[in-house]
């Protein structure tokens, strides 16, 4: 057994070799380049993501008996884990993707071969690799890392439930033996408990009895020192050289047995500490120049204590403090992960020993794989979700792995020789000089160191006093802060829970909102359709109304026309009536006139006849008078002639000559007179005759004329009578036609009125029905939307 300052993550300068980006490539082998291929410079600069594997354990016997509901489903093919939550009676699945997922039925062998074996190959290629298990208490971290109850190998074969550590050890030896390599292997096993590091491989008896013996005498705390190169080392950590897998198993069993475990409500044998088991392998290689080189690989296998809810794990008093410390270092681990993921300037590695020890594995040059373990039980859901979040976030951490620089064998031998010399001097001094256990030089050196230390201690003592005071104050403050932080933590937890609930409720609401939105969209679509149909109906109704109005206007026009026609007809009728009466009157008047004229004519004719007769008679009288006057004249002539004869006899008696002459003259005169009188009488006779003739002619003509007049009058009377009869008949038929037309019109109007009334009624009924239906539909929709609104507002 060797004792040296061990560092869990030394990282000497690298060669060009590097691994693949597991997350991005999605390589089932975890991106391990078993052949140790050179990594492109770009990848090397960008780094590789921490590989995160998720494992869900099966239900325990008790859980199965108690019919514990399972809320985790693993899809190994899709590398997804879904956690089912029921919030507000609604099932919500949260799905997380990882580099590898192993379900409850997964075997230890499968997990190792698929995820860890490639890492082991890389260790043998000269990389530093870290595998750590993270998860709630009782989820199978120790089972995964170390294995089940039967860890002992039977006939050289590993048991089926052997975990990552024994399988890695077995594989390392198998490979090295298969390669017939020359190698040396050292292991360290430390425990970090309540922020104190203890060596699980330290011998049971204390080597320096002068040093104060701690409470647990087998568990003296050892210091974590800065190595001055940005790394840390654990001073005095035992490094055990091993030559076979069997030896390692023994060491493992011995160390595991020393780990602090306790029974919690969640795990009968719960690890209360974090453990780091490291295997360092030195492999000899020959260069082309046959120079011997030493390749160094290191595998850190970390089993973290359970991340637990103090109240749920049932931890009390000491256990509660323990849990607080565990949570504190895990909390720091979480903060480191967050800082690395968020690329914040300051990464709080120094806030806990765990993160100081794992510094190179988180964002350093080491290749890291996290195995997150969860329980499928509903009762662990809160912690499971927290683990899933934690692990999912850790996926984004980028490391820049570098192969450890190979060392010349001679340099290693030189180192080893100087180490041997140092040890020999110690042994020699111990053997030769009583009471002094170290060589004189070293003693002097240490004395000087001691003096300097004493001075320093004194100085520190003063500082310490001041600090103590400060510490007391700070402690008070710390206690207050702790109380506050516990309160705040509780509040935070509650708030987180509330937040989670709210988030789920919000999710629900969002879903409901989207549902409601789609329903509203549907309704809107229906409403828009309804509105469109209503619009078209309204348009139709408008058209119909316009048509009806047109029809009504037409009808009213028709009515007005009919009225006008009626009026005209009435006017016509009254005109006809008037005309008829006028005609009748006029006809009557004509009749009368004609008859009076006939009468007058007749009277006139009569008068004319009378006049004619009186004329004729007067003429007759005149002719008579003329005859008489002619007679008188004749008588007068005879008397004249006798007077003349008397005068002639007297004249004869007075002068014969004169007589004779006178005689002659009288004779001539008499003849002349006679002649004259004859002519006159003839003329008068002629005249009379002519007069009589003309009178008779006139009488005839007058009679004829009167007859003709009478006939004409009679004919005119007859014609006017027949005309008036025809006119009367025409007007009668006109009347009949008009009354028929009126009755037809009245009938048509009645029918049209009826039809219009019917049409109006039907239209009104139809419109009322449609309006009613529409109102009902709209009311229905409004009621539905109101109900929905009410519902949504209730839920909100
Ligand atoms: N994958 C698995 N298959 C079968 N049994 C398992 C599995 N994982 C865990 N178990 C069983 O569950 C119990 C708890 O496991 P384990 O002690 O490994 O949990 P843990 O996470 O290390 O808990 P703690 O943090 O308290 O140490 C053990 O009895 C273990 O055998």
- Measure 149 CA to ligand 1 centroid, in angstroms: 10
pLDDT confidence of residue 403:
84
Known binding-site residue numbers for ATP: 135-142
Q: Is 186 helix (H, G, I), strand (E, B) or coil?
A: strand
Strands 196-199 and 80-87: unpaired
Contact call for residues 165 and 275 (beta carbons, < 8 A): no
pLDDT confidence of residue 319:
45
- Measure 278 CA to ligand 1 centroid, in angstroms: 22
Comparing 228 with 343, the larger pLDDT belongs to: 343
Contact call for residues 327 and 306 (beta carbons, < 8 A): no
- For residue 262, with 0-12 CB atoms within 10 Å meaning exposed, 13-18 middle and 19 or more buried, which class applies? middle
Lowest mean pLDDT among 79-88, 408-417, 664-673: 664-673
264-292 average pLDDT score: 76
d(CA 656, CA 716): 82
Q: Is the pLDDT of residue 166 over 80?
A: yes
**DSSP label of 112:** I
Structure confidence by residue, pLDDT tens digits, 294-310: 889 999 999 888 765 44
pLDDT confidence of residue 73:
93
- Measure 291 CA to ligand 1 centroid, in angstroms: 48
Q: How far apart are the first and last CA of the chain?
A: 69
Structure confidence by residue, pLDDT tens digits, 367-398: 999 999 999 999 889 889 989 998 998 888 88
Kindly state if the Cβ of 147 falls inside 6 Å of ligand 1. no
What's the count of helices (H) and strands (E) in the chain, helices before strands?
A: 15, 21
Q: Is the pLDDT of residue 263 over 90?
A: no
Q: Is the pLDDT of residue 35 over 60?
A: no
Q: Is the pLDDT of residue 28 over 80?
A: no
Contact call for residues 4 and 239 (beta carbons, < 8 A): yes
Contact call for residues 598 and 710 (beta carbons, < 8 A): yes
CA atoms within 13 A on the CB side of 92: 21
Structure confidence by residue, pLDDT tens digits, 599-634: 777 777 777 777 767 766 776 776 677 677 667 766
Q: How many CB atoms lie within 10 A of CB 595?
A: 14
pLDDT confidence of residue 39:
43
Q: In what order do the strands lie in the sheet with 90-97?
A: 72-75, 80-87, 90-97
pLDDT confidence of residue 648:
58
Residue whose C-alpha is closest to residue 334's, from 360, 311, 307, 315: 307
- Measure 498 CA to ligand 1 centroid, in angstroms: 30
User: Per-residue b/e over 459-490, b at no fewer than 16 CB within 10 Å?
Assistant: eeeeeeeeeeeeeeeeeeeeeeeeeeeeeeee
Helix axes 117-124, 164-178, angle to 10 degrees: 50
**DSSP label of 115:** I
Give the C-alpha distances (Å, rounded to integers) separating 748 from 206, 499, 739, 760, 763. Answer: 134, 83, 14, 17, 21
> Would the CA dihedral through 172, 177, 183, 188 be positive or negative?
positive
Residue whose C-alpha is closest to residue 145's, from 177, 169, 127, 114: 169
- Measure 104 CA to ligand 1 centroid, in angstroms: 12
Kindly state if the Cβ of 270 falls inside 6 Å of ligand 1. yes
d(CA 188, CA 160): 25
Please name the residues in contact with 147: beta carbons below 8 A apart, sequence gap of 6 or more.
Answer: 108, 159, 161, 162, 163, 165, 166
Helix axes 440-654, 656-795, angle to 10 degrees: 170
> What rounded mean pLDDT belongs to the chain?
75
Please name the residues in contact with 249: beta carbons below 8 A apart, sequence gap of 6 or more.
Answer: 151, 152, 153, 166, 169
355-368 average pLDDT score: 86
Structure confidence by residue, pLDDT tens digits, 136-161: 888 999 899 988 754 555 556 788 88
Q: Is the pLDDT of residue 23 over 70?
A: no
> Length of the chain in residues, anyone?
796
pLDDT confidence of residue 24:
31
d(CA 100, CA 397): 16
DSSP string, 368-421: EEEEEEE--BGGGHHHHHHHHHHHHHHTT-EE---PBPPEEHHHHHHHHHHHHH
d(CA 694, CA 682): 17
Ligand 1, atom 23, residue with closest C-alpha: 138
Q: Is 290 helix (H, G, I), strand (E, B) or coil?
A: coil
Kindly state if the Cβ of 102 falls inside 6 Å of ligand 1. no
DSSP string, 33-94: -TT-PBPPHHHHHH-EEPEEEEEEPPPPHHHHHTTPPB-EEEETTTTEEEEEEEETTEEEEE
Kindly state if the Cβ of 267 falls inside 6 Å of ligand 1. yes
- Measure 217 CA to ligand 1 centroid, in angstroms: 29
Give the C-alpha distances (Å, rounded to integers) separating 53 from 161, 342, 391, 394, 488. Answer: 18, 21, 8, 11, 32
Residue whose C-alpha is closest to residue 102's, from 66, 69, 151, 143: 143
d(CA 771, CA 773): 5
Comparing 98 with 608, the larger pLDDT belongs to: 98
- 261 Cα nearest atom in ligand 1: 27
d(CA 792, CA 520): 12
- Measure 753 CA to ligand 1 centroid, in angstroms: 98
d(CA 634, CA 677): 8
Comparing 437 with 267, the larger pLDDT belongs to: 437
- Measure 151 CA to ligand 1 centroid, in angstroms: 14
Ligand 1, atom 1, residue with closest C-alpha: 57
- Is the reported ipTM for this assembly greater than 0.90? yes
Contact call for residues 79 and 49 (beta carbons, < 8 A): no
Please name the residues in contact with 433: beta carbons below 8 A apart, sequence gap of 6 or more.
Answer: 440
Q: Is the pLDDT of residue 107 over 90?
A: yes
d(CA 313, CA 321): 13
Confidence of residue 681 (pLDDT cuts 50, 70, 90): low
Please name the residues in contact with 275: beta carbons below 8 A apart, sequence gap of 6 or more.
Answer: 189, 190, 191, 192, 200, 255, 256, 259, 302, 303
Structure confidence by residue, pLDDT tens digits, 696-750: 777 777 677 767 777 876 777 677 677 767 767 776 777 787 788 778 878 877 8
d(CA 647, CA 653): 9
Backbone angles phi, psi at 230, to 5 degrees: 90, -5
Helix axes 317-341, 381-394, angle to 10 degrees: 30
d(CA 209, CA 112): 43
Largest CA-CA distance found in the chain, in angstroms, rounded: 268
Structure confidence by residue, pLDDT tens digits, 238-259: 888 988 888 888 888 888 777 6
CA atoms within 13 A on the CB side of 175: 18
d(CA 523, CA 511): 18
Residue whose C-alpha is closest to residue 271's, from 396, 137, 408: 137
List the beta strands (DSSP E) in 562-672: none
Kindly state if the Cβ of 31 falls inside 6 Å of ligand 1. no
Structure confidence by residue, pLDDT tens digits, 461-513: 777 777 777 778 877 887 888 888 888 888 888 888 888 888 888 888 888 88
Structure confidence by residue, pLDDT tens digits, 440-451: 666 776 677 777
Contact call for residues 127 and 367 (beta carbons, < 8 A): yes
Q: Is the pLDDT of residue 529 over 70?
A: yes
Ligand 1, atom 9, residue with closest C-alpha: 140
Lowest mean pLDDT among 12-21, 667-676, 727-736: 12-21
- For residue 708, with 0-12 CB atoms within 10 Å meaning exposed, 13-18 middle and 19 or more buried, which class applies? exposed
Q: What percent of the chain has pLDDT over 90?
A: 14
356-370 average pLDDT score: 87
Helix axes 245-258, 164-178, angle to 10 degrees: 160
Please name the residues in contact with 520: beta carbons below 8 A apart, sequence gap of 6 or more.
Answer: 785
Comparing 320 with 612, the larger pLDDT belongs to: 612
Kindly state if the Cβ of 401 falls inside 6 Å of ligand 1. no
Kindly state if the Cβ of 709 falls inside 6 Å of ligand 1. no
Kindly state if the Cβ of 274 falls inside 6 Å of ligand 1. no
Lowest mean pLDDT among 279-293, 437-451, 535-549: 437-451
90-117 average pLDDT score: 92
Strands 80-87 and 72-75: antiparallel
Contact call for residues 191 and 275 (beta carbons, < 8 A): yes
Known binding-site residue numbers: 135-142
d(CA 470, CA 359): 30
Kindly state if the Cβ of 142 falls inside 6 Å of ligand 1. yes
d(CA 85, CA 94): 8
d(CA 2, CA 574): 150
pLDDT confidence of residue 8:
33
């Amino acid at each position: 057994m060797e004792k040296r300052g061990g560092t869990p993550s030394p990282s000497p300068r690298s060669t060009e070799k590097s691994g693949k980006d597991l997350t991005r490539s999605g390589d089932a082998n975890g991106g391990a380049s078993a052949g140790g291929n050179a990594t492109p410079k770009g990848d090397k600069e960008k780094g590789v993501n921490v590989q995160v594997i998720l494992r869900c354990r099966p239900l325990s016997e008790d859980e199965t008996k108690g019919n514990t509901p399972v809320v985790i489903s693993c899809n190994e093919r899709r590398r997804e884990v879904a956690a089912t939550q029921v919030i507000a009676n609604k099932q919500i699945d949260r799905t997380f993707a990882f580099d590898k997922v192993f379900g409850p039925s997964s075997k230890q062998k499968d997990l190792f071969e698929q995820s860890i074996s490639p890492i082991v190959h890389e260790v043998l290629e000269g990389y530093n690799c870290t595998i750590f298990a993270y998860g709630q208490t009782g989820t199978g971290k120790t089972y995964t890392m170390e294995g089940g109850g039967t860890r002992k190998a039977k006939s050289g074969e590993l048991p089926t439930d052997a975990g990552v550590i024994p399988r890695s050890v077995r594989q390392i030896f198998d490979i090295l033996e298969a390669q017939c390599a020359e190698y040396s292997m050292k292991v360290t096993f430390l425990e970090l408990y309540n922020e104190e590091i203890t060596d699980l491989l330290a011998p049971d008896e204390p080597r320096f009895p002068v040093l104060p013996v701690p409470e647990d005498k087998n568990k003296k705390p050892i210091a974590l020192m800065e190595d001055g190169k940005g790394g840390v080392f654990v001073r005095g950590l035992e490094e055990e050289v091993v030559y076979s897998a069997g030896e390692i198993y023994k060491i493992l069993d011995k160390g595991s047995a020393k780990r602090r475990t306790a029974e919690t409500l969640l795990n009968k044998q719960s690890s209360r500490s974090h453990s780091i088991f490291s295997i360092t392998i030195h492999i000899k290689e020959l260069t082309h120049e046959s120079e011997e080189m030493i390749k160094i690989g290191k595998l850190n296998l970390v089993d973290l204590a359970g991340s637990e809810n103090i109240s749920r794990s049932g931890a009390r008093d000491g256990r509660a403090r323990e849990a607080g410390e565990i949570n504190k270092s895990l909390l720091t681990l979480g903060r480191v992960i967050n800082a690395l993921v968020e690329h914040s300037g300051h990464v709080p590695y120094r806030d806990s020993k765990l993160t100081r020890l794992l510094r190179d594995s988180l964002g350093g040059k080491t290749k890291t794989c996290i195995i997150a373990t969860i329980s499928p039980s509903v009762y662990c859901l809160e912690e499971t979700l927290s683990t899933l979040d934690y692990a999912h976030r850790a996926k984004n951490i980028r490391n820049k792995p570098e192969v450890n620089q190979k060392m010349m064998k001679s340099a290693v031998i030189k180192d080893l020789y100087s180490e041997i010399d140092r040890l020999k001097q110690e042994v020699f001094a111990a053997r030769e000089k009583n009471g002094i256990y170290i060589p004189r030089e070293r003693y002097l050196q240490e004395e000087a160191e001691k003096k300097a230390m004493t001075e320093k201690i004194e100085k520190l003592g003063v500082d310490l006093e001041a600090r103590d005071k400060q510490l007391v104050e700070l402690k008070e403050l710390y206690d207050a802060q702790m109380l506050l932080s516990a309160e705040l933590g509780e509040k935070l937890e509650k708030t987180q829970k509330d937040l989670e609930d709210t988030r789920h409720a919000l999710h629900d609401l969002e879903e409901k909102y989207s549902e409601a939105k789609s329903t509203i969209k549907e309704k809107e679509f229906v409403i828009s359709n309804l509105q469109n149909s209503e619009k078209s109906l309204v348009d139709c109704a408008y058209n119909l109304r316009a048509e009806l109005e047109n029809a009504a206007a037409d009808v009213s026009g028709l009515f007005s026309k009919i009225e006008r026609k009626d009026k005209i007809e009435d006017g016509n009728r009254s005109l006809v009536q008037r005309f008829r009466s006028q005609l009748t009157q006029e006809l009557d008047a004509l009749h009368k006139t004609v008859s009076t004229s006939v009468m007058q004519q007749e009277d006139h004719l009569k008068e004319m006849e009378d006049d004619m007769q009186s004329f004729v008679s007067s003429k007759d009288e005149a002719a008579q008078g003329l005859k008489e006057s002619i007679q008188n004249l004749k008588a007068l002539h005879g008397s004249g002639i006798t007077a003349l004869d008397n005068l002639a006899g007297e004249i004869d008696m007075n002068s014969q000559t004169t007589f004779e002459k006178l005689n002659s003259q009288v004779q001539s005169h008499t003849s002349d007179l006679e002649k004259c009188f004859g002519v006159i009488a003839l003329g008068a006779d002629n005249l009379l005759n002519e007069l009589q003739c003309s009178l008779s002619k006139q009488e005839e003509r007058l009679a004829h004329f009167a007859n003709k007049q009478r006939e004409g009058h009679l004919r005119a009377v007859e014609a006017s009578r027949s005309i008036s009869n025809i006119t009367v008949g025409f007007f009668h038929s006109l009347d009949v036609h008009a009354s028929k037309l009126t009755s037809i019109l009245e009938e048509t109007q009645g029918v049209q009125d009826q039809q219009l009334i019917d049409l109006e009624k039907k239209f009104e009924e139809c419109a009322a029905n449609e309006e009613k239906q529409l109102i009902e539909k709209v009311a229905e929709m409004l009621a539905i939307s109101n109900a929905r609104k009410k519902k949504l507002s209730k839920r909100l």
